[in-house]
Amino acid sequence: MTNHVSSMASTVFDSVLFRDAFGTADMRALFSDHALVQRYIDVEVALAKAEARAGVISAEAAEVIAREASIERIDFDRMREETDIVGYPILPLVHQMVDMCGDAGRFVHWGATTQDIMDTAVALQVRDALDVVDTDIRELRAILSRLAKKHRDTPMAGRTHLQQALPVTFGYKVAIWLAMFDRHQERVAQMRKRVAVVEFGGAAGTLASLGDKGFEVQKALAEELGLGVPVTTWHVARDGFAEAVNLLALVTGSLGKIALDIMIMASTEFAEVYEPFVKGRGASSTMPQKRNPISSELMLAAAKAVRQHAGLMIDAMIQDFERATGPWHAEWIAIPESFILTAGALHQAKFALGGLIVDEARMKHNLGITKGLIVAEAVMMSMAPYTGRQQAHDIVYDACRTVNEAGGTLAEALAALPDVTKHFDRAAIDRMTDPANYLGLAPQMVDRALALSSEI
């Protein structure tokens, strides 16, 4: 029997095929039409309660509005049709709320403007979405902490410009990843007070329609919704939401960096790490041997997409006078998609890193493929006290050329040079050409990163 897919979704965010690859159900729910309209209603009801507290409208009217305004009574088809005509959803919503509330309906939306309701609703969405991101980052940091601790002393080749440079440890690499997300955790906390604020200014932002009650109502509205109070109206000051999306770009940028490392390290020639094995995941339609790093690929794609939205949000900051003529609308695209993509990328990261398969033997093997050349600096610095730095450099340089041209190992080439053997016996040469003996402070940096992370 054929199952017919009834969904008419046309983007990855709502696609039955791709939505869980590029997002999560929890984050989609926060930004769904239903949730958004519910937030509009929440703000309108909170406004009525705030105005009743300030004596602007009667307590009885506010009670009726709070009791009767219900999303279950919303005719979404009617609201959609009117929104297409008006260009914004608030007037269509207010029409229906007025109908619901009878005589008290006269006081719905009192003194507010459309953008007040929409901005405050999005501030509520962003506040709640940041809670989700904050939790995901904390869970990811716990995974990275365990991974860094486990591989504190696992030697591997450090690479610069995609060439082997000096030995590091895998734990050191993970500690660098961890430190990025420690900073992101702090950024989320620091940013919240700048973003989770109420918007209530009226037509041109001056609260003129409420006379001397404007600030009182604004403060009461913020209290009703659990939001902060802004110093000034922010109808055209969009730095808060722009900061939020640009933070998401930083988060997904860090995930993209991790993804790139994993993808290269999982390549056949490196074969140092693998994403967790799940039967069929990463399979090729033509090559049965393939095991593609799917989670990393999705993380990288998300990083690129959120980067685009971060730029869009910066562009949308350039708004004319006291109410914008278009840039505001761009936020409606960028904010939900950025949060959904970020949640999806964090979900993929927790999966990939939570079950990451680390091949320590292969790391050790790769560390030896240069036949000791990776520790040429170590040898030079060991010899310098006896020969002087420049002469040590020249001696080791000649030994490296011998390895490159004639084969053998660096230890063997050094053991054939009298300028070396008069200061070092073969055991000493072997020790100073062992990559595991030239890790610098990599293990100690892991300890420092773990200690700092535990305090955040």
Give the whole-angstrom CA distance, residue 79 versus residue 41.
13
Q: Single out the catalytic residue among 284, 329, 365, 454.
A: 284
284 is catalytic: yes
What is the amino acid identity at position 21? A
Distance CA 298, CA 128 (A): 24
* CB contact set of 197 (below 8 Å; sequence gap of 6+): 123, 222, 227, 228, 229, 230, 234, 240
SS3 string of 294-343? HHHHHHHHHHHHHHHHHHHHHHCCCCCCCCCCCHHHHHHHHHHHHHHHHH
Rg, C-alpha atoms of the chain: 30
The Cα 98–Cα 33 span in angstroms is: 21
- Which string of b and e fits 131-144 if b means at least 16 CB within 10 Å? ebbeebbeebbebb
Which residues face 156 on adjacent strands? 168
Active site residue 338: no
- Going by their DSSP bridges, the two strands 163-169 and 155-160 should be labelled as antiparallel
Upper half-sphere CA count for residue 70 (Cβ side, 13 Å) = 6
**214 residue type, one letter:** G
| Marked catalytic residue, from 4, 6, 10, 161 | 161
Distance CA 81, CA 354 (A): 47
CA-CA distance, 343 to 24, in Å (whole number)?
A: 6
DSSP string across 148-175: HHHTTT-EEEEEETTEEEEEEEHHHHHH
Q: Which position has the token pair 């006290």? A: 385
Residues with catalytic roles: 161, 284
